[in-house]
Structure 1
Amino acid sequence: MNTTAHLAWKSLSNRKTTALLTILTVAISVILLLGVERIRTEAKNSFANTISGTDLIVGARSGQVNLLLYSVFRIGNATNNIDWKSFEEFSQSPVVDWAIPISLGDSHKGFRVMGTTQAYFDHFKYGKKQHLKLTEGKPFNGLFETVIGSEVAETLGYKIGTEIIIAHGISDVGFARHEHLPFKVVGILAPTGTPVDKTVHVSLNAIEAIHVGWESGANLGGNPGAEALKKMNFHPKQITAFMLGLKSKIQTFALQRQINTYNKEPLSAILPGIALHELWGMMSIAEQALLVVSGFVVISGLLGMLSSLLTSLQERRREMAILRAMGARPRHIFALLISEATALTLAGIATGVAGLYAMLFIMKPVILKLYGISIELSMLTPHEWTLIGLVLGAGVIIGFIPAFRAYRQSLADGMTIRI
């Protein structure tokens, strides 16, 4: 066996260029296959880690995916607002431990603005039940104070004390901006890898204050100044949604049914985990398409290796014949070519795995910034090891084709000079 491995090494060393190209082809295939699997897994984990420890999310009657998207991921808009009295009724339920009201609809330079209360900083969790933390400053307290996410601060270059202008609606255009009511940045949240990083947080009272003089999205004029508004007593009338944490998980389905059958206004209560599962199910087609494409790339890489081995076999007919003449049996030739195919596949896999970790290390901050997906440089998972095993097995099987052809060649075949 040592002799066969030594011969295989010498043979590949004599064909360095072809061997390196074959290894590179297999490596690229492995990078794509494992890269798609890693990003797919981390994207799913990132979605699942966006919200943690919340038992129910309540909003106006709509599909649970739509409610999840606008309340947690800040994607899309609510079908309707809900009355503040409804929030108060359910937040004061004896089974409710805490409640977080949220109000959406405004924006700042492409980032969503969310109105909420101190309960948001006290009870909202992400990841593995991690609380929000401030890298600088403090939570908002005054009427025109704001706490911004880490990406907002980084992208726009904001610091503590910076004044910002909020715009009415998602489009931040001149006529929709509340120019006369600037907000002061008093806190910057630590990065979370969730939509929190891209959110501007203000108080619910501030949302009410900046819309004094606005009706149905239009500025009717007569807007009071900041000092005048600070003297007024604001109280929320409507909110977009609210999150609930219960004292006992056993009460979750009972309260959900109570909210869904609420007769004062049409409401929907969803379980975040189930809604996330449905959301990921809707994206499974794209996920499977990516896996199929990466699978075909692996197949094309292995076929390239097969082509290389068959081509080299034709050029090595005399070499095979000399080995036979020196006493090598057909099974030795067979083992030699299988060893070469295995060595090339192993080298390609090793190069591919190393290349994958190098690319993930380089692209990790870029992916986090652009897509909010945190890629962990963790060890290979059992599923990834399975994929590597399949690639290795396929590479060995591919080696059987040229090995079998060499096995069947006669001694005279390589010694005969063909013109």
Structure 2
Amino acid sequence: MFIKLAIKSLLYRKTSVLFTLLAMSMSVFIMVGVEHIRLQAKTSFTNSISGVDLIVGARTSNINLLLYSVFRVGEPTNNVSLSSYQALLDDTNIRWAVPIALGDSHKGFRVMGTTNQYFEYFSFANKQYLSLKKGTEFKELFDVVIGSQVANKLGYVVGDKVVLSHGIGVTSFTHHDHLPFRVSGILSATGTPVDQTVHVSLQGLHAVHLPKAKIKSVLDRKGSSLTMLDDFIPQSITSVFLGLKSRIAVFQIQRKINSNPNEPLSAILPGVALSQLWQTMSIFDNVLRLISLLVFISSLLGLTAMLCSSIKERSHEIKLLRMIGAPAGFIFWFIELEALLIAFLGSLVACSALSFMLLYGQSYLIDHYGVVISANILQSMSLVVSGLFVLLVFSAALAPALIAYKEAKT
């Protein structure tokens, strides 16, 4: 009866209530959307690499090494020599070592040289391993395995020709069109930078930078099988992903690599580097949360103004309720209930609209930003957030409820 009466009262003032409801919906949409996308983006970044104990590169900061080796952002300060990589392979504490080499691009997508071990050992999102949707891994010198976004955006299928470009810009004036690659495989979608990467063999990436006559001479003698082409192994690589036999030894191996007397190297723990990255970006997180909170508070002020302005118009309604025996406390809670109903409906509209947009916008976000955003926004709405929401709405309606209470007492 109490709720039914409050609903009828709101319907009677439907015009002003509707605009207040829209303002409340917009503010909740922004607040929940910012928080949900912030958490999902953080999860997506965290899921970009898993099962790698150490990342080794030239001496640089932890964040820089993480960014260019995992997220393909930025440039390395230097390369790692082949002798240092070989020393890592010979270390009895290291179970596997996967090299990567960066530098070229293809139509705006980064090209990464590696070995077939990359597809065997590299994992993401709690040790989910890469899998081929179509085709095979590298077998020939000029085979290329592309990520799902590369295939979708450029329309490539197995067997298509791919021409690499020098440099990492979207537009390049130097193309290696004298040695085109062939798409041998397409990876399944991962929601990580792997989807936006063009993978080639280390030998293939090195070969396109050599004179054409030398390449032809070697291929005529040995064929194009990767197992026979030691001549094209590069003398330096960008970084190395390491998996250890025992994680207990991770700090010991890290210190050993960082103090390498032959070459200045950096060995980082991916999880620690990710934490440092988010600490660096925490100021932006806090600014976004503050802006969304201010938008929500402004809508609450609008709710307060609407309820206050309606009190004088509802003096007859209040007197009528008093005449039929409603106590002054009833009037107070009646106004509070109206505010909570508006907030509840606004939140329902906002959350439904946000879920709908995320559900149908997931493919766009993956294709253009490489970020997987779940449409399930309930995981961002904790009990603490819900309790704070009710408390703020209650506080916003406190002034008009007290005015109505005093009006009922007189």
Deviation at 1:226, TM superposition (A): 6.0
CA distance 1:313–1:370, change in 2 (3 Å): same
Q: Shift of the alpha carbon at 1:59?
A: 0.4
For residues 388 and 89 of structure 2, the distance between their equivalents in structure 1, rounded to whole angstroms, comes to 53
CA distance in 2, matches of 1:229, 1:159: 29
Q: 1:411 to 1:7 in 2, by over 3 A?
A: same
Give, in whole Å, the separation in 2 of the partners of 1:411 and 1:60: 77
Q: Output the CA distance in 1 between the equivalents of 2:317 and 2:272.
A: 64
1:403 matched residue in structure 2: 401
Which stretch of structure 1 is more off in the superposition, 387-396 or 99-108?
Answer: 387-396
In the other structure, the counterpart of 1:216 is none
- Cα shift at 1:196: 0.6
Indicate the residue corresponding to 2:89 in structure 1: 91
Task: Say which of 214, 219, 224 aligns to 2:213.
Answer: 224
Q: CA deviation at 1:381?
A: 2.6
Aligned to 1:263: 261
Question: Would you say the 8 A contact 1:37–1:384 is kept in 2?
Answer: no
Q: Deviations over 1:200-220 (max 9, x none)?
A: 11111112211113xxxxxxx
Q: Secondary structure at the match of 1:170?
A: coil
Contact 1:180 1:226 in 2 (8 A): no
User: Which 5+ residue runs of structure 1 have no aligned equivalent?
Assistant: 214-222, 413-419
1:304 to 294, 302, 305: 302
- Secondary structure at the counterpart of residue 250 of structure 2: helix
The alpha carbon displacement at 1:159 in A equals 0.9
User: Alignment partner of 1:180: what SS?
Assistant: coil
Distance 2:145 2:215 in 1: 18
Q: 2:167 aligns with which of 166, 169, 183?
A: 169
Report the RMSD for the aligned CA atoms in angstroms: 1.7
Whether contact under 8 Å (1:181, 1:226) holds in the other structure is no
Superposed displacement of residue 394, structure 1: 1.2
Distance of 1:257 and 1:407 partners within structure 2: 70
Match of 2:225 in 1: none
> What are the equivalent positions in structure 2 for 1:15-414 lying under 5 Å apart?
15-171=13-169, 175-213=173-211, 223-224=212-213, 227-231=216-220, 233-378=231-376, 380-381=378-379, 384-409=382-407
* Runs of 4 or more above 3 Å deviation: 171-175, 225-229, 382-385
| 3-state secondary structure, aligned to 1:224 | helix
Which residue in the other structure is 2:227 paired with? none
Q: Using a 3 Å threshold, how does the CA distance of structure 1 residues 384 and 37 change in structure 2: closer, same or farther? A: farther
CA pair 105-317 structure 1, distance change in 2 beyond 3 A: same
C-alpha displacement at 1:44, in angstroms? 0.7
State the secondary structure of the residue aligned to 1:185: strand
Cα deviation 1:76-126 (Å, max 9, x = unaligned): 111011111110111221111111000110111111111100110110001
Q: Is the 8 A contact 1:313 1:402 kept in 2?
A: yes
Is the Cα contact below 8 Å between 1:103 and 1:115 reproduced in 2?
yes
Partner SS state of residue 142, structure 1: coil
Unpaired runs of 5+ in structure 2? 223-230
Do the aligned partners of residues 174 and 279 (structure 1) sit closer, same or farther apart at CA in structure 2, a change above 3 Å counting? closer
Q: Quickly say closer, same or farther: Cα 1:332–1:149, change in 2 above 3 A.
A: same
Indicate if the aligned counterparts of 2:23 and 2:299 stay in contact, CA closer than 8 A: yes
Q: Is the 8 A contact 2:33 2:354 kept in 1?
A: yes
Q: TM-score, normalised by structure 1?
A: 0.92
Cα distance change of structure 1 residues 173 and 180 upon mapping to structure 2, 3 Å threshold: farther
TM-score by length of 2: 0.94
Name the CA distance, whole Å, in 2 between partners of 1:195 and 1:210. Answer: 24
The answer as to whether partners of 2:339 and 2:393 remain within 8 angstroms in 1 is yes
The AA in structure 2 aligned to 1:308 is M
Q: Distance in 1 between matches of 2:195 and 2:297?
A: 40
* Pairwise CA distance, 1:347: 1.6
1:326: Cα distance to partner? 3.3
- Taking only the aligned residue pairs, the percentage that are identical comes to 45
